[in-house]
């Protein structure tokens, strides 16, 4: 080894005796044996090197060969960089890199680097038979692009037993996309490295020897953002206090120990210009050069931000170009404390300056927030009135409502537009009383207005909101009355046209006129898309989906969803919360087609967006869909779990009638499980007995009632009701529910011993269903249909349409593919349903994390299932489990 090289750079860092063993991360890293590249990226202080060093020491060194290289800026010459790589590798076992060492020491490589050396290194490594982990720490310090290109080539051509672990503050340009696409890379980021609650608790109690409550752990985890350095600071402070509650109240960046530390070690060392800059800009959630210039009233913000970033002063870049930044929570609290003492008198001026900048640059949300902070309510109101309708109907009604609530009440009640904004929000949340109250204040304020055009326009808006409230009562006449009173004021108010068409379509649904309803919903969708009104576009689309599925046009429903999602994507609006409704509709469509994996995929997307926007009715319907899916796979435990989750978000008597839908899903799951709890009370509720004229609007209630009568063996009553429903559904041409009704009709006749009528009804159901592939409505009735269809399969094949024969085979295949919980094969007596699911994901090569995401469980739960599988199958690894599963015929 060259004398000028520093030996300590190729030593694995020592691990302290007291350390948090991050088992979840270790388990994820243990999957590294399956990958070429393991990439660890996070800002300074997140414990990247500590994590990898402890993982090597605890989990890897005894099993595999390991090498380590800690880089510095001086290693940016290729010949220096690769020499260190070779020496680090040669340290594993002297002589394994002898050809590489000789090549480096040869004359032609004394003064420069030739890429042929990479081939020599790779060939030396090819002689190494065991698995090897090579860690390259602080790669971000390397500034030479040529080295990244060489690394890219090196990784692509490594022997399969070589695994490179890269630790960096930024993602290196070494072909990450291709590695990810070919599943050759495992990545951990800042989010992964942030300490969890459990790890935070372990850190304080075992590493810092501090006794701490769960509440304190939660608070400190949030405040430090799981940042290891911040936890260390909190731990040091906790060691010197006996009153945890007081400590938590004060630990906001201005706790005396933290304050002393930051003042002594950070803030006091800065020049006054930087100190003033930090305090003034700490009012901002995000910072750019231009914005900081305006708020701090200076011209050199770029220079200062770059300096603060370079010196790692608790500032986090928000983009690769480092054009936007934010302060770490803890440091921001510290700065707030300082500014309250030093610059309090100029804060209103700073807030107004920030608001003005955001307003000029078209960031109206932020402008409103800062004007409210400055108590400049007039300016805030002006912007709210300018953007409110567009913003609300783009899916952000709650945001506008919160702004309105921040305006002093005497101003709020005097402005019709603000009252109407609040009314829209409470109306869409089904709060009749609050909506009516806001409408009254709006009407009172309008009486004082002199502008006749505005008064007429607001009257139209009020009529539409009252029409929406009438949908709570399912009163189609009242809905139409208000809709007809709403005047047409031209293109300026197209949003009201769209909403009015939506109302009229809803009234038609309640009257059972699905065909006319579709015309109104299509009108609403077209208007909404033309004016980029995402909220009403999604709601119109959802209404169309319901109507199309009623009529049995499921492929058209799928296309509507895909087209609308493409429309939103083109406008960079695919991630607005209301878009969750589209994903949820797709999940229901794929459920009907029995494509359950695809259905789960879309439910996950729906849940992610709905949680982001706190859209309760979508969360409710998403969890209902999951309950149906898991019940379809005989996973009753999880089906009931998701029903419970759905019930938490169920809206009682709200605008979106998920209450009835929830009760129907719950009733059907209970009935098919043989659990009649609560079903009888629901079925006999007086409210539904007066809805005969609405049997198109509530088909699933009536179908559920028939199912209940079948289970109760009250067949004559069931027959009378089903005959009337079939006639109505056929007359109205609602084919999907007609097919479902015919299936129940067939079951009734079969149970009554009328085989001929049972087969006739079943044939009609199949002939209606095959084009649109309504598979689930058959599979859900397996208990009654399976024996009939299999026994009469020859007769059915002869009598159904020629094109429907493959569909019948799909039904039979669906029956056979299901796990029969009454007659389990030998391996099913060993493994639970969930363990079988885990095994199937193992077969697909999923990691523990991917399995957890697919099954909506924690990684620890997956590990428990794996342990159970290994124990029951008497194996010790994934490979052995898969081999044994194949022997049992599980796959």
The DSSP bridge partners found for residue 167 are 40, 137
CATH superfamily membership of 7-193 = P-loop containing nucleotide triphosphate hydrolases (3.40.50.300)
pLDDT at 694: 47
Confidence class of residue 890 from pLDDT cuts 50, 70 and 90? low
| Rg of the chain taking only CA atoms, in angstroms | 33
Burial 719-744 (b: 16+ CB within 10 A, else e): bebbeebbebbeebebbbbbbbbbbb
Residues 6+ apart with CB under 8 A from 175: 152, 155, 156
Instruction: Assess whether pLDDT exceeds 60 at residue 231.
Output: yes
In order of 258, 276, 280, 536, the CA distances from 338 in angstroms are 13, 10, 10, 47
In order of 13, 141, 142, 310, 517, the CA distances from 74 in angstroms are 20, 9, 8, 18, 72
Domain definitions of the chain by residue range: 7-193, 197-251, 676-817, 826-888
pLDDT at 655: 47
Pairing of the two strands 325-327 and 315-317:
antiparallel
Confidence class of residue 451 from pLDDT cuts 50, 70 and 90? low
26-52 average pLDDT score: 86
pLDDT tens digit string along 706-742? 988 888 889 999 999 999 989 988 888 889 999 999 9
64-92 average pLDDT score: 89
Helix or strand run (H / E) with residue 66: strand 65-70
Distance, in Å, from the CA atom of 684 to the CA atom of 663, rounded to the nearest integer, reads 13
Lowest-confidence segment of 1-10, 49-58, 244-253, 830-839 by average pLDDT: 244-253
470-486 average pLDDT score: 85
Distance, in Å, from the CA atom of 109 to the CA atom of 413, rounded to the nearest integer, reads 81
Confidence class of residue 255 from pLDDT cuts 50, 70 and 90? very low
For the domain spanning 826-888, the CATH number is: 1.10.10.10
pLDDT at 450: 61
Q: What is the secondary structure of 384-406 as a DSSP string?
A: HHHHHHHHIIIIIHHHHHHHHHH
Confidence class of residue 825 from pLDDT cuts 50, 70 and 90? very low
**Contact between 172 and 155 (Cβ < 8 Å):** no
Could you tell me which residue, 115 or 80, shows the higher pLDDT? Answer: 80
pLDDT tens digit string along 416-440? 889 988 998 888 777 888 899 999 9
Burial 452-473 (b: 16+ CB within 10 A, else e): eeeeebbebbbbbbbbbbbbbe
pLDDT tens digit string along 534-576? 888 998 999 899 888 888 899 999 999 999 999 999 888 888 8
pLDDT tens digit string along 376-391? 999 998 888 887 776 7
Distance, in Å, from the CA atom of 213 to the CA atom of 75, rounded to the nearest integer, reads 46
pLDDT at 745: 95
Residues 6+ apart with CB under 8 A from 190: 41, 42, 43, 46
846-865 average pLDDT score: 77
Tokens coding 185:
């890379």
Lowest-confidence segment of 149-158, 227-236, 474-483 by average pLDDT: 227-236
pLDDT at 282: 87
**Contact between 38 and 164 (Cβ < 8 Å):** yes
**Contact between 785 and 747 (Cβ < 8 Å):** yes
pLDDT tens digit string along 270-327? 788 888 898 889 888 888 999 999 998 899 999 888 877 755 566 777 776 778 888 8
In order of 130, 835, 880, the CA distances from 877 in angstroms are 19, 15, 5
Pairing of the two strands 37-41 and 162-168:
parallel
Distance, in Å, from the CA atom of 518 to the CA atom of 509, rounded to the nearest integer, reads 9
How many CA atoms lie less than 13 Å away from 622 in the CB half-sphere?
27
**Contact between 456 and 446 (Cβ < 8 Å):** no
Instruction: Assess whether pLDDT exceeds 70 at residue 41.
Output: yes
Confidence class of residue 45 from pLDDT cuts 50, 70 and 90? low
The DSSP bridge partners found for residue 67 are 134
Say which DSSP state 65 is in. Answer: E
pLDDT at 821: 31
Lowest-confidence segment of 77-81, 124-128, 451-455 by average pLDDT: 451-455
- Intra-chain end-to-end CA distance of the chain, in Å: 54
pLDDT at 234: 73
pTM to 2 decimals? 0.56
3-state secondary structure 123-178: HHHHCCCCCEEEEEECHHHCCCHHHHHHHHHHHHCCCCCEEEEEEECCCCCCCHHH
Distance, in Å, from the CA atom of 582 to the CA atom of 573, rounded to the nearest integer, reads 13
Instruction: Assess whether pLDDT exceeds 90 at residue 872.
Output: no
pLDDT tens digit string along 122-173? 999 998 888 999 999 989 889 899 999 999 999 999 999 999 999 987 788 8
Collapse the DSSP code of 851 into the 3-class scheme (helix H, G, I; strand E, B; otherwise coil) and give the result: helix
Could you tell me which residue, 761 or 640, shows the higher pLDDT? Answer: 761
Tokens coding 601:
């995929």
Confidence class of residue 696 from pLDDT cuts 50, 70 and 90? low
Confidence class of residue 491 from pLDDT cuts 50, 70 and 90? very low
**CA-based nearest residue to 354, from 283, 426, 435, 422:** 283
Distance, in Å, from the CA atom of 216 to the CA atom of 17, rounded to the nearest integer, reads 25
Distance, in Å, from the CA atom of 766 to the CA atom of 809, rounded to the nearest integer, reads 11
50-66 average pLDDT score: 89
Beta strands in 779-854 (DSSP E): none
Lowest-confidence segment of 261-275, 502-516, 612-626 by average pLDDT: 261-275
- What average pLDDT does the structure give for the chain? 82
Instruction: Assess whether pLDDT exceeds 50 at residue 828.
Output: no
Tokens coding 3:
């004398």
pLDDT at 626: 93
pLDDT at 820: 36
């Amino acid at each position: 080894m060259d004398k000028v090289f520093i030996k300590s750079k190729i030593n694995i860092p020592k691990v302290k005796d007291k350390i948090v063993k991050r088992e979840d991360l270790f388990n994820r890293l243990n999957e590294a044996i399956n990958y070429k590249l393991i990439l660890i990226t996070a800002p300074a202080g997140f414990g990247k090197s500590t994590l990898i060093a402890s993982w090597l020491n605890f989990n890897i060194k005894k099993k595999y060969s390991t090498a380590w290289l800690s880089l510095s800026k001086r290693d940016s010459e290729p010949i220096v960089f690769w020499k260190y790589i070779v020496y680090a590798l040669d340290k594993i076992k002297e002589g394994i890199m002898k050809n590489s060492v000789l090549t480096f020491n040869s004359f032609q490589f004394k003064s420069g680097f030739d890429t042929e050396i990479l081939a020599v290194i790779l060939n030396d490594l090819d002689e190494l038979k065991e698995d090897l982990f090579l860690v390259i720490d602080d790669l971000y310090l390397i500034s030479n692009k040529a080295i990244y290109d060489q690394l890219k080539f090196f990784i692509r051509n490594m022997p399969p037993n070589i695994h490179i672990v890269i630790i960096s503050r930024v993602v290196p340009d070494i072909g990450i996309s291709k590695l990810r696409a070919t599943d050759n890379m495992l990545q951990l980021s800042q989010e992964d490295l942030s300490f969890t609650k459990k790890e935070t608790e372990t850190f304080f109690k075992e590493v810092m020897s501090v006794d701490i409550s769960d509440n304190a752990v939660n608070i400190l985890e949030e405040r430090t953002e799981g940042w290891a350095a911040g936890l260390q600071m909190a731990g040091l402070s906790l060691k010197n206090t006996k009153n945890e509650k007081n400590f938590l109240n004060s630990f906001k960046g201005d706790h005396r120990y933290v304050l002393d530390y930051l003042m002594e070690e950070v803030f006091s060392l800065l020049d006054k210009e930087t100190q003033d800059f930090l305090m003034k800009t700490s009012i901002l959630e995000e910072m750019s050069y231009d914005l900081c210039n305006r708020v701090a009233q200076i011209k050199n913000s770029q220079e200062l931000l770059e300096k603060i970033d370079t010196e790692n002063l608790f500032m986090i870049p928000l983009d690769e170009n480092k054009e936007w930044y934010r302060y770490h929570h803890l440091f921001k609290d510290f700065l707030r404390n300082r500014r309250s003492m030093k610059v309090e008198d100029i804060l209103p001026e700073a807030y107004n300056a920030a608001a003005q900048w955001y307003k000029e640059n078209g960031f109206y949300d932020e402008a409103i927030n800062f004007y409210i902070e400055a108590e400049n309510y007039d300016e805030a109101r002006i912007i709210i009135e300018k953007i409110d309708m567009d913003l609300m109907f783009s899916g952000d009604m709650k945001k506008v409502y919160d702004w309105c609530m921040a305006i002093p009440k005497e101003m709020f009640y005097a402005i019709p537009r603000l009252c109407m904004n609040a009314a829209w929000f409470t109306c869409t949340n089904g709060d009749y009383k609050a909506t009516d109250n806001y409408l009254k204040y709006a009407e009172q304020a309008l009486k004082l207005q002199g502008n006749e055009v505005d008064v007429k326009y607001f009257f139209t808006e009020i009529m539409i909101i009252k029409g929406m409230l009438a949908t709570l009562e399912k009163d189609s006449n009242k809905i139409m009355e208000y809709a007809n009173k709403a005047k047409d004021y031209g293109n300026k108010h197209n949003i009201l046209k769209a909403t009015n068409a939506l109302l009229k379509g809803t009234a038609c649904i309640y009257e059972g006129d699905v065909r006319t309803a579709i015309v109104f919903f299509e009108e609403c969708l077209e208007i909404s898309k033309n004016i980029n009104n995402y909220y009403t576009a999604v709601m119109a689309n959802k209404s169309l989906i319901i109507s199309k599925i009623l009529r049995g046009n499921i492929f058209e429903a799928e296309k509507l969803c895909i087209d609308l999602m493409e429309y939103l994507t083109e406008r960079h609006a695919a991630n607005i919360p209301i878009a969750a409704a589209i994903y949820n509709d797709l999940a229901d469509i794929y459920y009907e087609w029995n494509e359950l994996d695809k259905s789960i995929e879309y439910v996950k997307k729906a849940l992610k967006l709905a949680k982001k926007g706190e859209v309760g009715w979508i969360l409710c319907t998403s969890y209902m869909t999951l309950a149906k899916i898991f019940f379809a796979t005989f996973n009753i435990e999880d089906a009931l779990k998701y029903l419970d989750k759905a019930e938490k978000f169920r809206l009682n008597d709200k605008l979106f009638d998920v209450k009835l839908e929830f009760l129907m899903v719950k009733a059907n799951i209970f009935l098919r499980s043989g659990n009649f709890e609560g079903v009888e009370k629901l079925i006999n509720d007086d409210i539904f007995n007066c809805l005969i004229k609405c049997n198109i609007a509530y088909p699933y209630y009536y179908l559920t009632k028939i199912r209940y009568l079948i289970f109760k063996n009250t067949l004559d009553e069931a027959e009378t009701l089903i005959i009337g429903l079939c006639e109505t559904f056929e007359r109205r041409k609602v084919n999907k529910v007609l097919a479902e009704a015919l299936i129940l009709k067939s079951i009734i006749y079969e149970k009554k011993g009328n085989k001929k009528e049972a087969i006739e009804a079943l044939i009609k159901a199949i002939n209606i269903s095959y084009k649109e592939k309504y598979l689930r409505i058959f599979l859900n009735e397996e208990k009654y249909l399976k024996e009939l269809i299999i026994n009469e399969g020859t007769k059915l094949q002869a009598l159904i349409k020629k094109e429907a024969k493959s569909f019948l085979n799909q039904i039979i295949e669906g029956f056979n593919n299901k796990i029969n919980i009454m007659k389990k094969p030998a391996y099913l007596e060993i493994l639970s349903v969930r363990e079988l699911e885990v095994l199937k994901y193992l077969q697909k090569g999923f990691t523990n994390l991917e399995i957890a995401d697919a099954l909506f469980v924690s990684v620890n739960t997956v590990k428990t299932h794996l342990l159970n599988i290994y124990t029951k199958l008497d194996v010790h690894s994934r490979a052995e489990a898969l081999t044994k599963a194949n022997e049992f015929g599980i796959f």
